[in-house]
Amino acid sequence: MKRSARNGKGRSFWQAHVRAQAASGLTQREYCRRNSISYWSFSPWKRRIEREGTGFYEVLPAVVRSIPTENRQIEISINASIKISVPDGFSSDTLREILSVLDMAR
């Protein structure tokens, strides 16, 4: 992370304050006064962050639910009229026999 040479504070510092000031409802000057930061540093950082289109997006953790094993299936389409749905864990030997019978029927 590149830090500002003058004040030693980097982008993440200013992004956090820009976000907090927007959420506070306070003017920039009042927010800076209450948080003991320079208005003259805050203001150009805010413009730079907004100009660069660095939006603030809340990233929520994804909820991953496992698929119940009784519902997991593989669907095999032989042609427009033959489709086979095979549940997870189905015997590969049995599947081979079914496909062999279908192949002989052609």
pLDDT: which is higher, 64 or 29: 29
Sign of the Cα pseudo-torsion (63, 64, 68, 72, in order): positive
Considering only CA atoms, which of 78, 72, 80, 81 is closest in space to residue 98?
A: 78
Beta pairing partners, 66:
none
Kindly give the residue spans of alpha helices, DSSP state H, lying in 1-106.
11-24, 28-34, 39-51, 92-105
Q: How confident is the model at residue 78 (pLDDT cuts 50, 70, 90)?
A: low
CA distance 49 to 14: 9
- Maximum average pLDDT range among 37-46, 51-60, 63-72, 91-100: 37-46
**pTM to 2 decimals?**
0.44
* Mean pLDDT on 33-61: 80
pLDDT for position 42: 95
